[in-house]
C-alpha cells in the first residue's frame, strides 16, 4: 500500500509543473470582478448614482424606479464581463454560503430570447431554501424563504455568475442567516459609539466596526487526502499516531514557502484581488503544511462577506494545484490547530480609530473610554462570547498547542494595565482638586509614548489588545465571522449605552463633564479587574483563579452553548432588537443540531474504518507473524527458543488491541442507539452524544494508533502523519 501511495505522489510531482504565471499588475486587476462605486458611477445616471450613494451611506429605502436602474446597470456590466447567470448570495446558519443560479434568459411573447434582469429580481427573491437549519422557525411544508439585497456589500462575479449579497429571512420575517442580525448589531454599535464620541468630538456622525481576520489553514496533497476517508468525510483525522518529527524544531513557522504552495498562493491572491478581497499577508504557520492568509482590515460586514468568499475560493483554487484545503480547527492531533483571529476596532467618519491612543489627553481619554467599555463588555458577556465560538472542531483546538483557552479573559499588557490601576487609585467619587486633575491628565497624556514600546502579545489570551485593536483569537478557522461579530458588537454597544447613561446621570447632578467621565471610567475599571488577566492561560492556577472570580470555565461545547438561553443573553439580544426570543432559541438549537450531526458522522466513520480497514489489516499482519513463529519453531527450533516469546507477545498484544477496538466500537454504537431512541429533542440528544458517545472515540483511537506502530508499514491502509504533513 505504501508503494502505491508514493508512486502516486511521484506521478503527481511529474505532471504538475510548478511555475509562476505572469499576471497583470495588481492595480489593473484589483476589484475587476466587483461592481464597485466607480463602476456604478459609470453605468448609472448621475441622479441615480447620487441617490443610491446617499442611501448606502445614510440608510433608507430603495424605490422601484431606482432598483430597476441599478439592476439594469448591474446586468449590463455583468454581461459585458461574460456573466450568464445571477444569484442572491447569502449566509445560512450552516456556516457556509448559499446560491441558486438563474440565467439572464427570458422569452418574449413572439418567442424572441432576451437577457433580462429588473429591480424586482435584484431587491428580493424567493429561493425557498427550506432545507437549511432553521431551529424550528420554519416547517418543511412551509417553504417560503426570502432573500433581500444588502446594498452595503457590492455585487461581484464568480464563476460567470453575478452574485448579489443578501440577507435571508423566513416568510414571517425572522432571520435565517448571519447577515441580518449582524447588520442590526453594526447599526447599534454605530449609534452607541457616536453618542459617546460626542463627549469628545461633536463632528463625529458615524462609527463603523472594522474587522481584519487572519485565516489559518492546512494544505494536503489531493492523492493522500483521497486515501483518508476520515479527512474526506469529517475534515480531520480520527486516528493517526504522531510523526517522529512535526513542529518541535519550529522550522516551518515563517520559513520559505514551498514552490508548489507558493504557486497556489499566487493564484489564490490573484483571484482574491479580482474579487476585491484585500489579501495582504501570507506565511507558513507553526505546524507542517499549515499556512495563513490575512487581509487589510475592512468594514465588518464587508469583511465577513470576503472571508466567506475566500474560503470557497481557497477550495476551488487548491484543486488546480492538486491540493485540498483543511479548514477544520484540529485536523491533526498533537500539533497546532487552525483559528481565525478576528482583529476588531471602531473607526469614526473623521478618521479616528477609537482603540488607538491619540496625541493629547483628550483623545487619550476617549481611547480609554472605548478600551475599558469593550473590556467591560467582555466581562458582562464572557459566557456568551465563548458560546459564539465553540463548536465540535473548536472543542478539540481550544486550550492547547498555542490556541487560547476556553476561559474568556482580556489581555491589555502591563503598561495599559498599570495605567488603569493608576486611574483607579487616583480618581474617587469625591470632587477632584485642580492638582489631581492636572496630574491625571498628564499621566493619560503619556499613553502614546508608552504605546510606542507596545507590550508583548499573549498567545494564551482569547481576547487581547494589540496596540490599536482587540484580537478575538478564539474564533475557529471554519467559522462564519458573523457569529462572533454579532455578539461582540452588540455587547460593546450595550456597554457604551450604559456608560453614556451613567455619565449623563452624574452630569445632571451637577458634576462637570470631564469629572463625570473620570468617575464612570474608574467604576468600570474596578469592575473589569476580574476579567483582566496577564498570565499564562494554560495554567491550572488560572482555571482555579477564574472559578474564584466567577468566570465561566465550561470546557465542553454543549455546556458553553447554554449561555445563549441565559436571561442575560435574552436581555442583550431581545432587549436591543438584534434577535427575537424565537430567533435566539433557534440559533441555540441549530448549534446543538450541528454539533450532534457532526459527532454522529465522526463516530460512524470511525466505526467503519476500525472494523473494515484497521482490524482486517491487523489480523492479516498477525497471521504473517503467526506463520513466522510456526516456521521458526519447525525449521529453526533453537532460534525459536530465543525469539519465540517476543513474537508471541506481539501476537498477543495485537489481539488485545483488536479485541478492545471491537468491544469499544460495539459499545459506541450501542450508546448512539440509546441516545437516538431515548431523546426526541436534538438539544438533549446532543448532550447525550457529548457525554456518552464522544468519550469512546479517543479510546478507540488509542488502540488504533498503537496498532499503527506495530503493523507492517506496507500493509497499513491509511497514509500516516509523516506523509500527510510532509508532502508539498
Q: What is the DSSP letter of 129?
A: -
Q: What is the DSSP letter of 692?
A: I
Report the C-alpha gap between 95 and 479 in whole angstroms: 6
Q: How many CA atoms lie within 13 A of 593 on its CB side?
A: 16
CB distance 169 to 126 below 8 Å:
no
| CA–centroid distance for 653 within its chain | 42
- As averages over each run of 10 residues, the pLDDT of the chain (728 residues) reads 44 48 80 94 92 82 89 94 94 90 84 81 79 72 78 93 93 89 97 97 96 96 96 96 82 85 94 96 91 96 97 96 96 93 96 89 88 97 95 88 83 87 70 59 63 55 90 95 97 98 96 91 93 87 90 88 96 97 95 96 97 97 90 76 77 96 97 93 94 96 97 95 87
DSSP of 197-231, one letter per residue?
HTTT-TT---EEEEEEEEEEEEEEEHHHHHT-HHH
- Give long-range contacts, CB 8 A cutoff, 24+ apart: 684-688: 685/596, 686/558, 686/592, 686/593, 686/595, 686/596, 686/599, 687/558, 687/592
Q: Which H or E run contains 87? A: strand 85-89
At 448 the pLDDT is: 67
Report the C-alpha gap between 563 and 543 in whole angstroms: 19
The neighbouring-strand residues paired with 220 are 324
Report the C-alpha gap between 516 and 429 in whole angstroms: 9
At 433 the pLDDT is: 61
At 274 the pLDDT is: 96
Which residues contact residue 698 at a Cβ distance below 8 angstroms, ignoring those fewer than 6 apart?
Answer: none
CB distance 87 to 97 below 8 Å:
no
Per the listing, cell 509543473 goes with 17
pTM for the predicted model, two decimal places: 0.91
- Apex 324 CA angle, 319 and 330, nearest 5: 160
- Apex 191 CA angle, 187 and 195, nearest 5: 165
Nearest to residue 532, comparing CAs of 343, 356, 375?
Answer: 375
Nearest to residue 188, comparing CAs of 439, 459, 496?
Answer: 496
At 432 the pLDDT is: 58
At 600 the pLDDT is: 97
Report the C-alpha gap between 310 and 316 in whole angstroms: 10
Which residues contact residue 35 at a Cβ distance below 8 angstroms, ignoring those fewer than 6 apart?
Answer: 74, 77, 78, 154, 155, 156
Report the C-alpha gap between 518 and 199 in whole angstroms: 12
Coil, helix or strand at residue 526: helix
Sign of CA dihedral 448, 450, 454, 460: negative
Amino acid at each position: 500500500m505504501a508503494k502505491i501511495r508514493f508512486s502516486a505522489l511521484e506521478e503527481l510531482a511529474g505532471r504538475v509543473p510548478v511555475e509562476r504565471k505572469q499576471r497583470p499588475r495588481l492595480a489593473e486587476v484589483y476589484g475587476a470582478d466587483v461592481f464597485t462605486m466607480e463602476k456604478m458611477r459609470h453605468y448609472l445616471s448621475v441622479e441615480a448614482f447620487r441617490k443610491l450613494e446617499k442611501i448606502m451611506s445614510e440608510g433608507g429605502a430603495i424605490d422601484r424606479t431606482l432598483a430597476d436602474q441599478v439592476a439594469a446597470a448591474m446586468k449590463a456590466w455583468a454581461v459585458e464581463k461574460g456573466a450568464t447567470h445571477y444569484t442572491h448570495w447569502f449566509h445560512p446558519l450552516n456556516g457556509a454560503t448559499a446560491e441558486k443560479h438563474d440565467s439572464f434568459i427570458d422569452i418574449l411573447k413572439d418567442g424572441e430570447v432576451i437577457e433580462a434582469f429588473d429591480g424586482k429580481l435584484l431587491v428580493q427573491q424567493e429561493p425557498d431554501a427550506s432545507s437549511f437549519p432553521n431551529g424550528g422557525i420554519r416547517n418543511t411544508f412551509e417553504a417560503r424563504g426570502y432573500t433581500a439585497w444588502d446594498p452595503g456589500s457590492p455585487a461581484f462575479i464568480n464563476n460567470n455568475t453575478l452574485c448579489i449579497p443578501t440577507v435571508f429571512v423566513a416568510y414571517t420575517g425572522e432571520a435565517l442567516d448571519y447577515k441580518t442580525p449582524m447588520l442590526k448589531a453594526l447599526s447599534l454599535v454605530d449609534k452607541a459609539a457616536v453618542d459617546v464620541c460626542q463627549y469628545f468630538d461633536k463632528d463625529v456622525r458615524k462609527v463603523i466596526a472594522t474587522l481584519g481576520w487572519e485565516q489559518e489553514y492546512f494544505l494536503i496533497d489531493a492523492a493522500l487526502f483521497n486515501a483518508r476517508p476520515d479527512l474526506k468525510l469529517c475534515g480531520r483525522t480520527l486516528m493517526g499516531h504522531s510523526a517522529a518529527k512535526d513542529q518541535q524544531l519550529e522550522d516551518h513557522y515563517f520559513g520559505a514557502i514551498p514552490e508548489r504552495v507558493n504557486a497556489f498562493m499566487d493564484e489564490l491572491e490573484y483571484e482574491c484581488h479580482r474579487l476585491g478581497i484585500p489579501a495582504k499577508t501570507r506565511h507558513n504557520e507553526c505546524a507542517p503544511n499549515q499556512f495563513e492568509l490575512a487581509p487589510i482590515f475592512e468594514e465588518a460586514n464587508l469583511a465577513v462577506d470576503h472571508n466567506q468568499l475566500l474560503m470557497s475560493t481557497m477550495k476551488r483554487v487548491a484543486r488546480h494545484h492538486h491540493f485540498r484545503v483543511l479548514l477544520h480547527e484540529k485536523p491533526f492531533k498533537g500539533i497546532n490547530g487552525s483559528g481565525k483571529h478576528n482583529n476588531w476596532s471602531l473607526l469614526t467618519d473623521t478618521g479616528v480609530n477609537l482603540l488607538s491612543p491619540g496625541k493629547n489627553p483628550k483623545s487619550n481619554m476617549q481611547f480609554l473610554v472605548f478600551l475599558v467599555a469593550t473590556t467591560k463588555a467582555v466581562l458582562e458577556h464572557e459566557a456568551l462570547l465563548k458560546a459564539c465560538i465553540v463548536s465540535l472542531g473548536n472543542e478539540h483546538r481550544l486550550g492547547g498547542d498555542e490556541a487560547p483557552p476556553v476561559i474568556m479573559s482580556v489581555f491589555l499588557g502591563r503598561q495599559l494595565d498599570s495605567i488603569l490601576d493608576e486611574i483607579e487609585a487616583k480618581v474617587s467619587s469625591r470632587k477632584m482638586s485642580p492638582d489631581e486633575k492636572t496630574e491625571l491628565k498628564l499621566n493619560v497624556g503619556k499613553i502614546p509614548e508608552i504605546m510606542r514600546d507596545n507590550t508583548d502579545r499573549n498567545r494564551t489570551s482569547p481576547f487581547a489588545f494589540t496596540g490599536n485593536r482587540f484580537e478575538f483569537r478564539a474564533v475557529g478557522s471554519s467559522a462564519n465571522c458573523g457569529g462572533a461579530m454579532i455578539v461582540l458588537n452588540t455587547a460593546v454597544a450595550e456597554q457604551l449605552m450604559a456608560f453614556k447613561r451613567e455619565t449623563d446621570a452624574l452630569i445632571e447632578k451637577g458634576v462637570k463633564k470631564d469629572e463625570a467621565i473620570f468617575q464612570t471610567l474608574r467604576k468600570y475599571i474596578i469592575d473589569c479587574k476580574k476579567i483582566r488577566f496577564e498570565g499564562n492561560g494554560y495554567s491550572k492556577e488560572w482555571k482555579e483563579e477564574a472559578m474564584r472570580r466567577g468566570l465561566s470555565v465550561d470546557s465542553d461545547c454543549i455546556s458553553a452553548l447554554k449561555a445563549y438561553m441565559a436571561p442575560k443573553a435574552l436581555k442583550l439580544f431581545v432587549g436591543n432588537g438584534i434577535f427575537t426570543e424565537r430567533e435566539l432559541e433557534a440559533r441555540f438549537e441549530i448549534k446543538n443540531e450541528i454539533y450532534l450531526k457532526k459527532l454522529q458522522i465522526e463516530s460512524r466513520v470511525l466505526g467503519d474504518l476500525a472494523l473494515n480497514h484497521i482490524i482486517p489489516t491487523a489480523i492479516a499482519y498477525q497471521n504473517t507473524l503467526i506463520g513466522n513463529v510456526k516456521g521458526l519453531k519447525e525449521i529453526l527450533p533453537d532460534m525459536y527458543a530465543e525469539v519465540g516469546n517476543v513474537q508471541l507477545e506481539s501476537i498477543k498484544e495485537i489481539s488485545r488491541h483488536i479485541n478492545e477496538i471491537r468491544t469499544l466500537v460495539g459499545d459506541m454504537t450501542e450508546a448512539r442507539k440509546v441516545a437516538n431512541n431515548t431523546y426526541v429533542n436534538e438539544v438533549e440528544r446532543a448532550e447525550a452524544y457529548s457525554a456518552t458517545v464522544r468519550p469512546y472515540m479517543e479510546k478507540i483511537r488509542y488502540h488504533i494508533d498503537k496498532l499503527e506502530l506495530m503493523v507492517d508499514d506496507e500493509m497499513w491502509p491509511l497514509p500516516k502523519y509523516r506523509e500527510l504533513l510532509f508532502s508539498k
